[in-house]
Structure 1
Amino acid sequence: MPTSSGQHPWVDALRVYLRLPVLAMLFLGFSAGLPFLLVFSTLTTWLRTSGVEVAAIGFFSWIGLLYSIKFFWAPVVDAFRLPLLTRLLGQRRSWMLAGQALIMGGLLGLSSLDPASQLGAVALFALMVAFGSATQDIAIDAFRIESAEDEVQAAMASTYIIGYRGGLIMAGAGALYLASAFSWQVSYQCMAALTAVGMITVLLRPEPPRQPLASRLAKEPRVRAFLRASRGRPAWVRRTGAWLIGSVVCPFLDFFGRFGLGALGLLLFIGIYRISDLAMASMAYPLYVDLGFSLDTIATVTKVFGVIMSLLGGLVGGVLVVRYGIGRILVLGATATVLTNLMFAWLALSGAQHSLLVLTIVGDNLSNGLASAVFIAFLSSLTSRAYTATQYALFSSLMTLPGKFLSGFGGLVVEGMGYPSFFVLASALGVPAILMALWVWRHHVREPGKHPVSLDKP
């Protein structure tokens, strides 16, 4: 029935997507997604087509470790004021703009290099892009949460994801098409120019209001106890101690307090659930190049069609979680990841068969999207409302760290054993994740109509 405004309730609900804070996240999402592939699969494709050995290419995946450890400098982004910029733009916008400037500078630096003869410089500029990108991510997350009330956050997250996927397509298919038509240097120059999308958005949107750090820390009982016990000590000691307790100690104590010794098992599970996918990622695109697929084919099949399949997998995963609960779908996601990663070994043995490439990409991206959706839901269920941002940042970082570390050795394994053996080994890494998913389903996850089981009790 119509609302007091005369509109249908669904029309009123959809109008949220016309609000400026929500629309802004579309462009900031694009800005966040753009640099990601430019230091991963797109870069590894450029390196392989330039004749760089696969052993060296594998180590480039370690650049992604910056995304996995960004929680280390997140408190700096949260509290440190950049000279001049923060006074002009505010805390969140100044750090977003600083990160975007690093991304643009790094991409322009990459566009001036020849990977075959300047591999060290390529690594340095790629690190610059990744650091700027991870820093931008920290600031955007805070900006999003602080820019609007809770009921708008879901819409802002939706437009952010759409923009992010658009950035991935541009940095994946778009960059490969440009490289095929012109050159890799021109491609990366165009990507650097697109960084202006995020910069313009930052300059146009206002700084969100935020509670002072001191006020937030003062609400923590453990912080108040520390401040009482440290009376008479130098002010900098009390400030530093209060910050460490409120920002680092309290979230960890809360997590272990809720789950007991079972928290160790949960942390292990978080670290290995995506290890199979992440460990094999650095060698997928060198495989496509070595099999003889053209850049246009790689772009169309993996960067456009693949992204669509990933989105579909995420949607399917969300529906299955609602229907069957998180536990069963955690097991399904881990199993599907192992099976679809084996398809890369099949592709490596079969040669450049276009239909098999499509089948492999369909399977890989559907399982990737499904596993990502259910795992995000699982991680969200583990966080405490009092420490959501900190705990989720730690969980998401731990999720990618082991797999990205192992991915760095992928080139050495391929060089010594070949592509088929490498992908079989990467698939085998996912078997412990299946077993632990069964354990988590049995001992922790709340299923419809059931009560949750505490992990610290047999």
Structure 2
Amino acid sequence: MLEKLKNTQFNFIFLGISAAMPSFALGIPFGLWLLSAGVDKQTLGLVTVSSIIVALNFFWSPFINRIKLPVFYSFLGLRRSWILISQISLGALLLLLSVLDPNQNLAIVVVVACLIYFFSSVQDIALDAYRVEYDQYFDAENLATIYQIGYKVGAFLIGAQVYGIIGAENWQAIYLYLGLLMFFLTSITFLSMRVKEANLSESSFDQFFSAFKNLLKKDNVIILLLLVGIYKISDIVLGPMAAALYAEVGLDNAEYLQKKSYFNFIATFVGSGLALWTIKKFQIEMTMFVGALLVVSTNMFFSYLYLFPSYLNFISINFLDTIAQAFTAVCFITYLVGQVDRRYTAIQYAFLASLVIVPGTLLKGTSGFLTDSMGFYNFFLLMGLIGAPSIGLSYLLIKGLSFNLQNNLKIAAVILIMGVFTFSLFEYQELKTVLNDKYIHFFVYSVLSFLVLAASQSLKRILLFIGLISLGVFTELLQNVSGLRNFEYMDIIANSLGILVGFLIFSIIEKTLKIPD
């Protein structure tokens, strides 16, 4: 009976919940807790930089990949013994948070948060390696999907339960509940199957260097590492200011947070299911590209939420954002699993997972300062824009990570289109007193149309022309919807003239140089 219970892939739902508990505990609840205690946005942004500890986990991953814990190893194996130790430690630290008051002990709260991040990183190292090696029993993409569903259960369904039963103000009770839940999840670790683990003869330090040497031998490794490093950067930088936004516009009450969590839980299934279908239908490369587009789009929606903070917008935008997060998480986990050598599973996966976190974590310390200087509206638009390079590199992934002139032009065109779209929606002060903005519209759209033509010679030019004209009209309509800027026909005319000039210049150069179609 016990063996039948162990022979399942659905244990990763509960292991996903375990992985999500630290992130949830130090996410929206943590931010709202500190804000309610009088901590300002700038300090909140700086405090969240402590999560850099998770990003440094590859430094201690060789030890977790090799050291066999006495007694625990005999019963559980290497991976599960480390998972169990981290779960016990996290449970104790969450219970400790439940008795602290940030008004009196902010420094201690930050230290405890750092320790939670550390043991969370230990759990992540062991759990990621365990999931990768578990594919000896089940398909990797299925495990990634089930794990992601479990992760979102921890982030949203447990969150809804917390907000619904306890409320959004009783922070001590929230952390008491989360600590006890973490102790309960240790039972799943005991019930999970043991996997076949690599038994290397190298020392921990030799493993560390061998793992990196092996990784750096991959083709186009620089582009690969760049893609991993920037793929989720906009999501990470945006994170701390989501709680600040909810508090700013009055969307931080317990009822709203509870309902958001329930809807986000449903969105997790939608996003994970779509990702799994897309991977099987179009392969992982196309799925990564679609995921990058989704992240950028949904991050920008938070600017709209700031302008129109209704309950419907709050639920809808978070629902779409969660679909994007679940989608990208499944495809990214699947992609990373395909990049690691099974001899160095824990080390290489930990390094790649850390590389996902490091750039965004370093930048998110500035999120409070950016929000104070430019406002919530411009900040969330900017968060969409900084995801543009991930779209470009994801496109390269489809092309086999091949850098050539045509691919580079397409990437530049995509980034410029996103830049034009984003800055057209920005709220500016006194722009017209410095320079007539019609000249700017004309020049930018001239350059844009020329670049788009050079990058997309295989497409019909009439379609490109209509697309660029539509971009100019659409941005003017959105400016009117925002109420921060006016709809101006002269801007559309300037955009259109710029597009025509760009087309003419390209046609002249094409005929002069006899560029083939």
> Which bin holds the TM-score, normalised by the shorter protein?
0.7 to 0.9
Q: Cα distance 1:366–1:417, how it changes in 2: closer, same or farther (>3 A)? A: same
The equivalences for 1:320-399 within 5 A come to 320-350=278-308, 352-384=309-341, 387-399=344-356
Task: Check whether the contact 2:42–2:369 (CA below 8 A) recurs between aligned residues.
Answer: yes
C-alpha displacement at 1:171, in angstroms? Answer: 4.7
Task: Check whether the contact 1:99–1:135 (CA below 8 A) recurs between aligned residues.
Answer: yes
Q: In the alignment, which residue of structure 2 is the partner of 1:265?
A: 223
Query: 2:237 and 2:139 mapped to 1: Cα distance?
Result: 33
C-alpha displacement at 1:381, in angstroms? Answer: 3.7
Please give the per-residue CA displacement for 1:362-411, whole angstroms capped at 9, x wherever unaligned: 22122222233333333334344554543333222211221122112111
Matched residue SS, 1:79: coil
Whose Rg is larger? 2
Query: 2:183 and 2:126 mapped to 1: Cα distance?
Result: 17
Query: 2:41 and 2:218 mapped to 1: Cα distance?
Result: 45
Q: Cα distance 1:252–1:157, how it changes in 2: closer, same or farther (>3 A)? A: same
Q: TM-score, normalised by structure 1?
A: 0.77
Letter in 2 for 1:249: F
Matched residue SS, 2:399: helix
Query: 1:181 and 1:349 mapped to 2: Cα distance?
Result: 24
The equivalences for 1:88-107 within 5 A come to 91-107=78-94
Q: Cα distance 1:441–1:92, how it changes in 2: closer, same or farther (>3 A)? A: closer
Please give the per-residue CA displacement for 1:322-364, whole angstroms capped at 9, x wherever unaligned: 33333443333222222221111111122x3111112211221
Q: In the alignment, which residue of structure 2 is the partner of 1:115?
A: 102
Matched residue SS, 1:444: coil
Query: 1:75 and 1:180 mapped to 2: Cα distance?
Result: 41
C-alpha displacement at 1:58, in angstroms? Answer: 1.1
Letter in 2 for 1:67: V
Q: Cα distance 1:309–1:118, how it changes in 2: closer, same or farther (>3 A)? A: same
The equivalences for 1:18-417 within 5 A come to 18-20=5-7, 22=9, 24-82=11-69, 91-143=78-130, 150-152=136-138, 160-180=147-167, 183-202=170-189, 210=197, 212-214=199-201, 217=202, 240=203, 243-245=204-206, 247-259=207-219, 262-350=220-308, 352-384=309-341, 387-417=344-374
Q: Superposition RMSD on alpha carbons, in Å?
A: 3.1
Letter in 2 for 1:255: L
Aligned sequence identity (%): 29
Task: Check whether the contact 2:144–2:333 (CA below 8 A) recurs between aligned residues.
Answer: no
Q: Cα distance 1:149–1:349, how it changes in 2: closer, same or farther (>3 A)? A: closer
C-alpha displacement at 1:291, in angstroms? Answer: 0.8
Query: 1:327 and 1:38 mapped to 2: Cα distance?
Result: 33
Matched residue SS, 1:42: helix
Query: 2:192 and 2:394 mapped to 1: Cα distance?
Result: 43
Letter in 2 for 1:419: F
C-alpha displacement at 1:429, in angstroms? Answer: 0.7
Deviates more, 1:112-121 or 1:422-431: 112-121
Query: 2:24 and 2:276 mapped to 1: Cα distance?
Result: 25
1:435 is aligned, of 386, 392, 398, to 392
Task: Check whether the contact 1:92–1:140 (CA below 8 A) recurs between aligned residues.
Answer: yes
Query: 1:288 and 1:212 mapped to 2: Cα distance?
Result: 49
Q: TM-score, normalised by structure 2?
A: 0.69
Query: 2:39 and 2:103 mapped to 1: Cα distance?
Result: 6
Number of aligned residues: 400
Letter in 2 for 1:360: I
Q: Cα distance 1:331–1:53, how it changes in 2: closer, same or farther (>3 A)? A: same
C-alpha displacement at 1:185, in angstroms? Answer: 0.7
Q: Cα distance 1:201–1:270, how it changes in 2: closer, same or farther (>3 A)? A: closer
Task: Check whether the contact 1:345–1:419 (CA below 8 A) recurs between aligned residues.
Answer: yes
Q: Cα distance 1:282–1:189, how it changes in 2: closer, same or farther (>3 A)? A: same
Q: Cα distance 1:415–1:362, how it changes in 2: closer, same or farther (>3 A)? A: same
C-alpha displacement at 1:94, in angstroms? Answer: 4.0
Q: Cα distance 1:157–1:179, how it changes in 2: closer, same or farther (>3 A)? A: same
Task: Check whether the contact 2:145–2:272 (CA below 8 A) recurs between aligned residues.
Answer: no
Matched residue SS, 1:48: helix
Q: Cα distance 1:199–1:326, how it changes in 2: closer, same or farther (>3 A)? A: closer
Query: 2:401 and 2:88 mapped to 1: Cα distance?
Result: 44
Deviates more, 1:415-424 or 1:297-306: 297-306
* Higher RCO (C-alpha 8 Å, min separation 6): 1
Query: 2:340 and 2:314 mapped to 1: Cα distance?
Result: 39
Query: 2:40 and 2:65 mapped to 1: Cα distance?
Result: 40
5+ residue gaps, structure 1, are 1-15, 218-239, 446-458
C-alpha displacement at 1:46, in angstroms? Answer: 1.7
Please give the per-residue CA displacement for 1:148-189, whole angstroms capped at 9, x wherever unaligned: 671346576665444433322355223333442771111111
Letter in 2 for 1:108: L
Task: Check whether the contact 2:62–2:346 (CA below 8 A) recurs between aligned residues.
Answer: no
Q: Cα distance 1:137–1:17, how it changes in 2: closer, same or farther (>3 A)? A: farther
